[in-house]
Amino acid sequence: MPTFHEEANDLIVTWPDVHRDAKYLVRKLLSGRAWKGIVALTRGGLVPAAIVAREMDIRVLDTLCIATYEDKDIAPMPAILKRPEAATAERGAGWLVIDDLVDTGTTLRASRELLPEAHFATLYAKPEGRPLVDTFLHDVPQSVWVYFPWDTDLQYVLPMAKRKPGR
């Protein structure tokens, strides 16, 4: 499990965490079923979907681009920016939809309207969105903010002895 910072109520997910967890998700998804392809929910689902596609030897990938957040603020209505045409035409039947996290379920609800017969899988699931996902790896409390590596940046920090007091 990624690093939980209790004082900030944050879960910090690293690149190795994503890679490991995507592979664990594959183990849960391998069933001998022949998937037509993968739909990555952008942007968070892109990296896990690439890893899942590689490990499951699936060559057909598409994206469903939905904007539901602006920084940490939830948008009033999900905006569908791009649809996966083949998967949409088939109502998602035989398609695997991958995202990094299901939080309140806003993105997955909009996705399920377009792809009601798809199989939805996420790395992390919060209680409000959990009923909307078919397969997930980790439970995360609703109040925890999850920071993924594509949303953060490593930077140089002065040694403590050289910092101003209180920093």
Which residues does the annotation mark as catalytic? Answer: 99-100, 103
Distance of alpha carbon 29 from alpha carbon 98, whole angstroms: 11
User: Which amino acid is residue 82, in one-letter code?
Assistant: K
Nearest to 115 by CA among 80, 88, 154, 78: 88
> 27-58 burial string, b = 16+ CB within 10 Å, else e?
eebeeeeebbbbbbbbbbbbbbbebbbeebeb
Distance of alpha carbon 34 from alpha carbon 41, whole angstroms: 20
21 DSSP assignment = H
In whole angstroms, how large is the CA radius of gyration of the chain? Answer: 17
Q: Is 108 helix (H, G, I), strand (E, B) or coil?
A: helix
